[in-house]
């Protein structure tokens, strides 16, 4: 799973996407990110930070167009989420909702176009 990492006020946050099979939904997770192992510094294009345990998870159903996306809060510890990070996370969620909903539209069978009345017998 690849993660997008963003820094805010000296802290790093990660958003990652994966498919949650039991929920038949895409999951978009927000977590704090920790520095990657120092040994990775020698590897070109290696991640500098890795996601930690998710504390916010948005579930976006992709099989039932009537099912609403939800956001779940996890963890025993209190998390303070800066406004800019919350906006970034919700923009990622909104983009995923749009992708799933456009997928619903593409998979729906198109209604046949009405046949114009023709000359009678």
What local confidence, expressed as pLDDT, does residue 8 receive? 96
Would you say 37 and 56 are in contact if contact means Cβ atoms under 8 Å apart? no
| pLDDT tens by residue, 47-86 | 889 999 999 999 999 888 788 999 999 888 888 899 999 9
Per the prediction, the chain carries an average pLDDT of 85
Cα 13 off chain centre by = 14
| pTM of this structure | 0.79
- Better-predicted residue by pLDDT, 58 or 23: 58
CA distance 102 to 31: 27
What local confidence, expressed as pLDDT, does residue 1 receive? 62
What local confidence, expressed as pLDDT, does residue 105 receive? 65
Largest CA distance in the chain: 84
Strand intervals (E) in 25-97 = 25-35, 49-51, 56-61, 70-73
CA distance 72 to 28: 10
């Amino acid at each position: 799973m690849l993660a997008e990492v963003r820094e805010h006020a000296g802290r790093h946050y990660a958003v990652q996407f994966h498919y949650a099979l039991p929920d038949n939904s895409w999951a978009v997770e927000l977590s704090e990110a920790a520095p990657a192992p120092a040994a990775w510094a020698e590897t070109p294009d290696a991640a500098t930070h890795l996601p930690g345990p998710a504390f916010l998870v948005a579930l976006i159903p992709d099989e039932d167009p009537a099912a609403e996306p939800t956001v779940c809060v996890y963890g025993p510890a209190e998390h303070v989420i800066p406004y800019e990070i919350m906006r970034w996370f919700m923009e990622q969620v909104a983009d995923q909702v749009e992708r799933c909903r456009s997928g619903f539209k593409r998979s729906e069978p198109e209604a046949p176009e009405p046949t114009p009345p023709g000359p009678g017998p």
